[in-house]
Structure 1
Amino acid sequence: MASYVTKDGLDKMKAELELLETIERPKITQQIAEARDKGDLSENAEYDAAKEAQGMLEMRISKLKNLLADAKVIDETNLDTSKVSILTTVRLKNMVTKGEQKFTLVPDNESDLKAGKISINTPIAKGLLGKVIGQTADIVLPNGNKLSFEVLEISI
């Protein structure tokens, strides 16, 4: 199944994979060798910890390789700003508090709430998808609370 990413997201995954394979993997191999040189492996906590770290590292490398193999880069130049979709930035008015918020809808692996980037798979994003300026999105959160937002602006 394809996973959609931005060019920036793809570059970050490639950089992380490079770091893990060229820096972190040799470090852990060295730690395992040093722990092995200390003797009896059956009671060697350092060796066990290094082997566990190696397993976690290899899982992350494998996951990144799979993500990169299935990654489809989204062409931001062809995005339609007439309605809310992935990679659009949406300025909203909370219909209860009358406060404004701004979110960018991004792929799962690029979400960063502090930066205003929310995953396309969150209840808020799902409730906003397809809406146009002036429309109201009524969203039910997993905890049962209801939010109502008016779409004020859609941009890239």
Structure 2
Amino acid sequence: MSDAVTRRDGRDETYDEKMDRNWAELLQELRVLQTGVQILAGFLLTLPFQSRFETLDDFQIALYLGNVVLAALTTALILLPVSAHRRLFRKGLKDTLVASADRIAKVALAGVALLSVGTSALVFDVTAGRSAGVTVGAALLAVLLVLLVLIPNRLRHKAARD
């Protein structure tokens, strides 16, 4: 019996080749996520050194600190598959790595989305007031849910029907 895997797209690859390709694709996605998190985290880390930072109220400081923690945790999540790969290298567990990295990437996407919402809400709260911050935060959360959850789910269901 051949270990070749034939897919709907006509690819003829072994199971190991498929896992290697999936792993490489996941790592590329994580690189893109990491850049976004680094930009947002860098922005957040500069704020305490601005003179206006001292005027933040308790809510704004809590939102700021929550965003910093979220940025650190999201960064750790994005690094987790690489760390796991280093620990499990040459153990014949590529399928386990790919499956777990897939789940981790989905959680990291949620972290990036929440970080984008939280950072935008903070900026609007400080510059345009509390109601603007809450409104923008809620609107961005709704838009990101559509873009990151609903549309991909719809595409998956459409592909399953076709």
TM-score range, shorter chain: 0.3 to 0.5
Q: Give the number of the structure whose residues are more often strand, by fraction.
A: 1
TM-score under structure 1 normalisation?
A: 0.35
TM-score under structure 2 normalisation?
A: 0.34
Which has more radius of gyration? 1
Q: Give the number of the structure whose residues are more often helix, by fraction.
A: 2
